[in-house]
Chain A
């Protein structure tokens, strides 16, 4: 088959909603885009453990402590499935992790913001996981089979995370004045970075058109962002809190909420490494990896010895 025929049959499959599987022919750009996206997603899960892990030892009740630990642990699990999905595209987990640690690979910029108070645990669950879920629900139908299947499993856990985040804020919102202030402050700090999670506006986004055609994405950044705003505006009312945007108002004609301008300068600054915690996050990942090197080496050496022992016994 000529390259042209291969590409045509590939696109036909996608148009017919047949999943692309690891051994199927695929255009190099499709493979690369998926590999970049899935590995970035895996890295986001792993780096995302840090800002929440930050509060585990200080969680204010034993119940909150176990919920938070279980949530951070779920993220490690998500990282595992996603690295496995990405490996089907021809990279190795070691290589992907090396790219993360060298700063070559990206992860979601939201995790470069600090978690300053306990209320941030609720706000991260509600807003950050809430934003992530909209993207992930869409990705359950993405065209690459292993990614779509990993997403189905991840979405179930993520929706639990979002609910527990909201519930945790709900308790604060009904608590003392100090707790309500803490809750509002966390919402104020996480609102705009959460909107940025959907990425640049459609007019600026370089990867969007091709990704939609290949059904890697099914909605544009701006569509997802609007969906998020519409959802959160309703939920924040239940909390009795406000969103820090004076321009937020219902638009009868569009049947959506209008919202203010996102500070894209801040967005690009954080992407480029100038966020409040970019350096600390990478340093923490590198430290864990470097300090774990002897542990991984020992496990390998032991496994090797054991294999040889068994071989000698058999001989």
Chain B
């Protein structure tokens, strides 16, 4: 039998990661490089926030059953503080240019595709159900972002320079996926080789040199030690709920 606290924390970790990346991607809506891609990234945003809602609703149910609380998806998204959020650091990094946004999505989608496959087999039927529902979306996100990584890597000199700069910036945030936090019920450490393998295939087609091994990796997001960016994301996202506590929207 799983430890409830671990289950809640793990569920919140999955919810926060989807929400914060969704919140970041949402800023592209109406500002994309071309209409079709504006629509595509907005689809991904909708999927991510949809996943976050499923995880938050489940976490709220578990918390309410355990402690007689009144949590909802919105109390969890809107009334927790910077140090409570457990998302991977990579989700909160700024959008930067299209290359940085694409690569961030590609790294996370590659990881999610592996993690959610594993989660589908979970003995926790609710998490397994959310994973089963989400995996098709994630496979689309992965296909879309892989194609863009390849296009940018093997496109023009400028696009290549930009995607290389994005690799340089984002790579050190990819190690966190595989270093388990004490509460995590899904050990992702054994997914690392598969993740590296998938990334290498796409990088090869994109003619992007694979980063050197054993580079330093940033960690902390999963235990609430974030970058300075997260505070601003949360301040903006939570502003109305905080300004009008107790109001229905």
| A residues adjacent to B (C-beta < 8 A) | 46, 49-50, 52-53, 56-66, 69-70, 72-73, 76-77, 79-80, 83, 118, 168, 171-172, 174-176, 178-179, 284, 287-288, 291-299, 301-302, 305
Contacts and interface: CB of A to CB of B under 8 A. Distances in A.
Given A62-B56, A178-B247, A294-B159, A77 B39 contact: yes
Given A69-B45, A76-B35, A62 B156 contact: no
B244 A295 contact: no
B249 to A, nearest CB: 4
Interface in B43-71: 43, 45-46, 49-50, 52-53, 56
B162 A80 contact: no
Given A62-B49, A69-B46, A302-B150, A295 B34 contact: yes
Residue of B19, B33, B77, B240 with most partner-chain A CB within 10 A: B33
Given A60-B78, A72-B29, 18 more contacts: A49-B30, A60-B240, A61-B78, A62-B73, A69-B49, A73-B42, A175-B249, A176-B244, A284-B30, A288-B33, A291-B33, A291-B98, A295-B34, A296-B34, A298-B151, A298-B155, A298-B159, A299-B151
A69 B45 CA distance: 8
The 4 closest A-B pairs by CB, nearest first: A292-B33, A298-B155, A298-B159, A53-B30
Contacts of B31: 53, 284, 287-288
Interface of B: 19, 23, 26-27, 29-39, 42-43, 45-46, 49-50, 52-53, 56, 73-74, 77-78, 97-98, 150-152, 154-156, 158-159, 162, 236-237, 239-241, 244, 246-249
Given A49-B29, A53-B31, A60-B240, A291 B97 contact: yes
Contacts of A298: 151-152, 155-156, 158-159
Main secondary structure of the interface of A (DSSP, over half): helix
A50 B32 CA distance: 12
Contact of A60 (B38, B98, B150, B249): B249
B245 to A, nearest CB: 10
Contacts of B237: 57-58
